[in-house]
Structures are given as C-alpha cells and as structure tokens.
Amino acid sequence: MCNNCNSDEMINNFVDEEIDLSPLKPVIEKYGQVKGSLINILQATQDIYGYLPLRALNYVADNTPNKKSTIYGVATFYTQFRLKPIGKFLILQCQGTACHVNGSKEVSQAICEELKIKPGDTTTDGLFTIEDVNCLGCCSLAPVMMINGEAYGNLTPSEAVNIIRNLAKEADK
Ligand code: FES
C-alpha cells in the first residue's frame, strides 16, 4: 500500500455523489474508536452503499482517527472494495476451479455478450454489474453465478442468459 500517497490526487479514484450518511452512523459508533478496524468500517460501508462513495470515506475520516490518505489508500489497495456504484443486479460469476472445469468461461462469455460489458463494469442503464469471484462456496452446483445473493447453479450459457433476460423484464415492469 502507498503510505506517501497524496489524498488530493487519490480523490479522483472515487465517485462524489449525494448520499444519505445516516446508515453509516451506527457503523462509526460500533467501530469508530476500535484500533485496526478500518477494513471492517469500509466493508460495512460497502454493504450499505454497494460501493465506497467519496462522501462516506470523508465521513469516516472526520469521525475516526484515520487520515483521509490512509482511508483512500486502503480503499484502492484491496480488490474487495468497489469504487464505482453497482447496478440493480450484481452478478457474481464464479471462476473458481470447480466452476472453471464445468464451463464457467462459456457462461461468462454468454453473459458478457448479452449485456455488452466485461467483468467489473455496469450496464449503461444501471441494471447489471458483473464481477468475477473465486468461489461462491457451492461448488457442487458448478458452474454457479450469484445474483443479489441468490445462487444459480448447473448453468449453461443459454440458461444464464435467460435468467438475465427475465430479471431485465421484471425490472422493466
Ligand atoms: S468454484 Fe465455483 S462455487 Fe466453488
């Protein structure tokens, strides 16, 4: 991690948009003064907003002993943290070994072609975000994807595309 990073330069990594900071208050109350708890705070922040918004990071800096440069550094260093807003549906595509040998690559390719984005991106309508993950913990169902916490297993490329089309239809109603 970069210890000499200038927080003014790092600010460009984050999205500055209007957010409701009230859900963050209990997190700060719980962890704010606990030494070594920055990762927990950032994980809880991401659980609330789906990513790490700049205003939330600044709120953490203002209400804990952590400096902005440290917070920005941790947020950008760990791949578990998202720096951009996610879509309504977060698709976690498993690329772990069990899924890989059972065709996750083809499933992923079909999903990316359907949505015209690559892993890490969000569709322009804000509906879908795709992320690759290493194991979703249900290898017996390989290949698996998880959408907003629900696991879909034994997928074929066309099944995965159908699931996504159905979600898009539902969202359109
Ligand atoms: S490898 Fe995909 S769920 Fe474990």
Domain boundaries, the chain: 7-77, 89-172
CATH 3.40.30.10 fits 89-172, yes or no: yes
d(CA 58, CA 170): 36
Which residues are within 8 A (CB) of 74 and not within 5 positions of it... i.e. 6 or more apart? 1, 38, 39, 42, 81
Q: How many angstroms is it from 118 CA to the middle of ligand 1?
A: 20
138 CB near ligand 1 (under 6 Å):
yes
Q: Can you tell me the mean pLDDT for 20-38?
A: 95
Report which ligand 1 atom has the smallest distance to the Cα of 135: 4
pTM: 0.78
Provide the pLDDT for residue 58. Answer: 97
144 CB near ligand 1 (under 6 Å):
yes
Q: Which of 75, 84, 102, 85 is nearest to 93 (CA)?
A: 102
End-to-end CA distance of the chain: 45
**Site to substitute for ligand 1 among 144, 146, 150, most atoms within 8 A of C-beta:** 144
Q: Which of 166, 114, 113, 102 is nearest to 140 (CA)?
A: 102
pLDDT top residue among 2 and 15 = 15
Provide the pLDDT for residue 140. Answer: 97
pLDDT in tens, 88-139: 999 999 999 999 999 999 999 999 999 999 998 999 999 999 999 999 999 9
Q: Strand pairing of 145-147 and 150-152?
A: antiparallel
**In this structure, what are the phi and psi dihedrals at residue 64, rounded to the nearest 5 degrees?**
-135, 170
CA angle 33, 37, 42 (to 5 degrees): 110
Provide the pLDDT for residue 124. Answer: 95
Enclosing H/E stretch for 150: strand 150-152
Q: Are 145 and 109 in contact (CB under 8 A)?
A: no
Q: How confident is the model at residue 173 (pLDDT cuts 50, 70, 90)?
A: confident
Q: Are 117 and 125 in contact (CB under 8 A)?
A: no
